[in-house]
Structure 1
Amino acid sequence: MTDRKSLTADGSVTFYSDEYEEAYHSPSGALTEAEKKYAEVCRISDRDEVDILDICFGLGYNSAAAIDNFDGKRLSIVGLESYQGIIDEIVRLVDGAEYPFECNEMMKKVAATGSYANDVVNIRLVMGDARETIKSLKDSSFDCVFLDPFSPKKCPELWTEEFFSEIYRVLRKGGMVSTYSCARIVRENFAAAGFTVKEGPVVGRRSPGTVALKQEDRDRR
């Protein structure tokens, strides 16, 4: 699989996947999308401690935006990704001074070794099919989920009620999922999995994103 680099409208770099025939980010701005649709929606800057599950880690922009916006005591991130090739691009972007976040060296370490830890931040990558790797995660272990696969049309397997039920399982009560898609099937599947569905912000697209809230604990399996 060959991914082609391109520049988005805010000056940040993304890649186009020939396999999925889609870019990894909105052409209106990869950096902007990570900040506005993920880090800000999940109120990362207001939290003292937070556990994040980043599904479809990709170039790590959503996690990097969370790190750059965090000013608390403990931030833990587990990233799920199936394609090593896009992880390798993080190193090249950092080395080429094209990675658009302050935590670039931290993200380079994650890409090169699969993990990073200091006194505040802990990041761990789990490689493989997210439908399988999520099953290894403990119940009620995350406050926020960044859901960023390719579109429901191109990657339908990561937008199903079954997969959303796994997300519901690993979220704590009061936890939230943020994603760029507002497709009807996405919102219907969130609701069927037990989530309360709300509109996310409009950023670089005509349509809003989606926020899904876990408001009670119950067995969805």
Structure 2
Amino acid sequence: MPYPVDPIVLSYVQADELLKAHKQTLSAVDISPDLGLTTVSVALSEQGISFEKGEQLSWQQIEKIKRSDVNCFLLEDDTIRPIQFFSEATNRMCSLLPTRRTPSMLIAGFTMHRIVDIDPMQDTHKKIATITPITGRVLDTATGLGYTAIEAARNALEVVTIELDPGAQYIAHQNPWSRDLFNNPHITQLMGDAYELVPSFEDESFSSIIHDPPVFSLAGELYSGVFYQELYRILKRGGRLFHYIGDLNSKSSGTVTRGALKRLQEAGFKRVVRRPEAFGVVAYK
């Protein structure tokens, strides 16, 4: 499925800029129609704003966007709708979460990226940096918005990425920052449960693995010894696995970290190193 052509997606960040320009009685202002990727000029009037191709927003609509700090909005046919999806497959609500720059995603109230004092894309770069250089075939066990797959695909021969939740896939499809997930020929997307799909992969078929599962309470099986054994099996000798866990110094993540370290070593990984700057660990085969 290709990414939609030039959708207009706005958040409270752009709404705030528009309202300030209106207060200054400006007739035009540059804003981003895609959450910070590009900018365009829009015309301002007493009624609202107009984009170059004729799309319009009223000031009432812009005020509504400004009031929401947990949703991004898609503009279609001069109406706005929050980018969110209730997934019957997982019984969870997914939504595109705005930040000052790269958006994140909320699933069942949990943020899928670090957003405190860090940008979600910076968060992604820190994860990727733990296993660079990226070469060959890479497995990304949890697609989400696809940032990890997109960044890994800049150097990998192929990135295979797995997504369980159709809701998350829907949100990614509406997110301008995720467009390369659908357009990059080096990315292969699989829909399904990583716990069930990983055992179907051949032995030593991946050079690197990025394991960035949801929190333990949402996907405990992806932290299990059985799953770690499968990851060890499909990783090439000399390969590295990055496992995102959370703040290694926090009380809650500390308990999960100790269990994960023990099970990774029991699965066969010869060395497991804490990488607190990336909120995870790297396991070496």
Task: Report the TM-score when normalising by structure 1.
Answer: 0.75
Give the whole-Å Cα distance in 1 for the aligned partners of 2:230 and 2:152: 23
The Cα shift of 1:191 comes to 0.9
Q: Is the CA contact 2:213–2:244 (under 8 Å) kept in the aligned structure 1?
A: no
The Cα shift of 1:201 comes to 4.3
After superposition, where does 1:39-58 map in structure 2 within 5 Å?
Answer: 39-44=128-133, 47=134, 49-58=135-144
Unaligned runs of 5+ in 2: 1-91, 249-256
Q: Choose which of 214, 217, 233 in structure 2 pairs with 1:153.
A: 217
The Cα shift of 1:16 comes to 1.0
Q: Is the CA contact 2:94–2:171 (under 8 Å) kept in the aligned structure 1?
A: no
Give the whole-Å Cα distance in 1 for the aligned partners of 2:218 and 2:168: 17
Which residue matches 2:275?
Answer: 200
Q: Choose which of 113, 120, 123 in structure 2 pairs with 1:33.
A: 123
Give the whole-Å Cα distance in 1 for the aligned partners of 2:217 and 2:262: 15
Give the whole-Å Cα distance in 2 for the aligned partners of 1:43 and 1:35: 10
- Call closer, same or farther: CA 1:132–1:173 in 2, change over 3 Å: same
Structure ranking higher on relative contact order (CA contacts 8 Å, 6+ apart):
1
Say whether 1:84 aligns with 2:166: yes
The Cα shift of 1:105 comes to 4.1
SS in 2 for 1:202: helix
SS in 1 for 2:202: coil
After superposition, where does 1:47-196 map in structure 2 within 5 Å?
Answer: 47=134, 49-68=135-154, 70=155, 75-94=157-176, 99=177, 105-109=179-183, 116-117=184-185, 122-181=186-245, 182=248, 183-195=257-269, 196=271
User: Residue type of the partner of 2:132?
Assistant: R
SS in 1 for 2:114: coil
Between the aligned residues of both structures, percent identity stands at 26
Which residue matches 2:81?
Answer: none
Give the whole-Å Cα distance in 2 for the aligned partners of 1:124 and 1:5: 23
Q: Choose which of 71, 85, 95 in structure 2 pairs with 1:4.
A: 95
Q: Is the CA contact 1:8–1:26 (under 8 Å) kept in the aligned structure 2?
A: no
The Cα shift of 1:152 comes to 2.1
- Call closer, same or farther: CA 1:32–1:140 in 2, change over 3 Å: same
- Call closer, same or farther: CA 1:107–1:157 in 2, change over 3 Å: same
CA offsets, 1:69-95, max 9 Å, x none?
Answer: x2xxx521111111122122222112x
SS in 1 for 2:198: helix
SS in 1 for 2:136: strand
Number of residue pairs matched by the alignment: 181
Give the whole-Å Cα distance in 1 for the aligned partners of 2:99 and 2:221: 27
Give the whole-Å Cα distance in 1 for the aligned partners of 2:259 and 2:219: 13
CA offsets, 1:116-149, max 9 Å, x none?
Answer: 52xxxx2211211111111111100111111111
Task: Report the TM-score when normalising by structure 2.
Answer: 0.59
Unaligned runs of 5+ in 1: 110-115, 215-221
Give the whole-Å Cα distance in 2 for the aligned partners of 1:88 and 1:168: 31
